[in-house]
Amino acid sequence: MAGLYIHVPFCSQRCSYCDFYFVTTQKSHTGFVEALCREIEIQGQAFGRLEPIETIYFGGGTPSQLSLDELERIVQAANRHFDTSHVLETTFEINPEDATTSYLRGLQGLGIDRLSIGIQSFFDADLKFMNRVHDAGRAKSVLDDVRSAGFDKYSIDLIFGVPGQPKEYWSANLDIAQSFEVPHISTYNLTIEESTPLAKQVERGLVIPTDDDDSMNQFSFTMDYLKERGYEHYEISSFAKKGHRAVHNHKYWSHANYIGVGPSAHSFWWRGLPAKRWSNIRNLRRYEALLAQHVIPTDEEEKLSLDVLADEHVMLRLRTADGLSLKELEDRYGVDLFSSHISVLAELEAGGFIHPIRNQIVRLTDLGKTVCNSVTAKLLPKDAS
Ligand code: SF4
């Protein structure tokens, strides 16, 4: 079954590190909602009958910039043009400052059953550095509000590797999350993306990026800390209590089909070769103008051969605790990695980067996770040893 991703491109201000597509100056959302519903209709006509939808994800930008009425129109459009009768999970990204009790209850009324909350840090100094809207007090109180509203499925984002952050802040961030018994935590290393305000601060020498070793130590600490407290580290950035894995994200990691709507959204569809991946244009005005003429606002489209898909599969699966199934790689992608990479696999196991292979599954150890990209590079099928 497929996923549906809905990109809402509005933010109230720009976080210093962010390179997602969003606008901060749009007062009215009417034109966007109109265009989005039309795109849902067109994509529903093309793909809606091929596969039912299992997960819906509202991302951004900041979906919580939309009113409940606007969201209701979008949900109705999705229900009308796709088969949503099998939906298992509907996730909604929300920023702490938007999560009022009435808004949270309204989201539940729309069938949204999982939240992804952009907390990032429980410290004012970090939040100010990142130019977030909320403060440390709201970062904590939103967790009480979410629980009082009856959400038991939610995730928080936390960022480590913040330049200049005192070392004890990161462990304190995890302590606070733990004290609220947060069921799912996504942790990200702060990366300096091109053309962001943070990149400019670095260029001018105003900010010194965190040393790679320090970031890696924080990541290692996070793995130990959360594992000891009952979280499953089920994907490089994702930690979940039992029963709280994100179902939608699993679609990205397993080459399941998904349709993305909204400016800059990506889609993937594989029904016979080549598979197709495409993205929408990153421009709200053009997006609205094209859809007013019933034109799909595609920016780039890529046709993916089985070789490319096999490489991607190795990259994606090694990031997960379920690991890379050599049998699946052979059956679905036609690659016998065990034969082509036997010496590499032996070296990686001897170096402690992967666990001994059991049931034809390759899994990274904690050491391997700290150098996931370089381990993956050694196991890409096209680099047969
Ligand atoms: S709220 Fe999210 S999408 Fe918007 S600027 Fe901040 S990080 Fe980027």
pLDDT tens-digit map of 360-379: 999 999 999 999 999 999 99
pLDDT in tens, 86-134: 999 999 999 999 999 999 999 999 999 999 999 999 999 999 999 999 9
Ligand 1 center to residue 18 CA distance, Å? 6
How far is it between the farthest Cα atoms of the chain?
Answer: 60
**Residue ranges of the chain that CATH labels 1.10.10:** 320-383
Cis upstream peptide for 183 (omega within 30°) = no
Domain 2-251 homologous superfamily, CATH: tm_1862 like domain (3.80.30.20)
Structure tokens at 366: 């904690």
Residue 149: CB atoms within 10 Å: 18
State which amino acid sits at residue 242: K
Half-sphere exposure of 326 (CA within 13 A, CB side): 16
**Percent of the chain as helix, strand, coil, to the nearest 5:** 45, 20, 35
β partners of residue 157: 186
Architecture field, domain 320-383 = Orthogonal Bundle (1.10)
Nearest alpha carbon to residue 87 among 39, 116, 52, 41: 52
- pLDDT exceeds 70 at position 155: yes
Nearest CA to ligand 1 atom 6: 15
For 354-384, the three-class secondary structure string (H helix, E strand, C coil) is ECCCECCEECECHHHHHCHHHHHHHHCHHHC
Ligand 1 center to residue 65 CA distance, Å? 11
The closest-lying atom of ligand 1 relative to the alpha carbon of residue 18 is 8
Average pLDDT, the chain: 95
Q: Which positions ≥6 away from 141 have C-beta within 8 Å? A: none
Nearest alpha carbon to residue 123 among 200, 75, 177, 49: 177
Question: What residues flank ligand 1, with Cβ below 6 Å?
Answer: 11, 14-15, 18, 20, 22, 60-62, 95, 118
Ligand 1 center to residue 284 CA distance, Å? 16
The closest-lying atom of ligand 1 relative to the alpha carbon of residue 13 is 5
For 48-84, the three-class secondary structure string (H helix, E strand, C coil) is CCCCCEEEEEEEECCHHHCCHHHHHHHHHHHHHHCCC
**Residue ranges of the chain that CATH labels 3.80.30.20:** 2-251
* pTM for the predicted model, two decimal places: 0.95
pLDDT in tens, 262-307: 999 999 999 999 999 999 999 999 999 999 999 999 999 999 999 9
Percent of the chain with pLDDT over 70: 99
Ligand 1 center to residue 14 CA distance, Å? 6
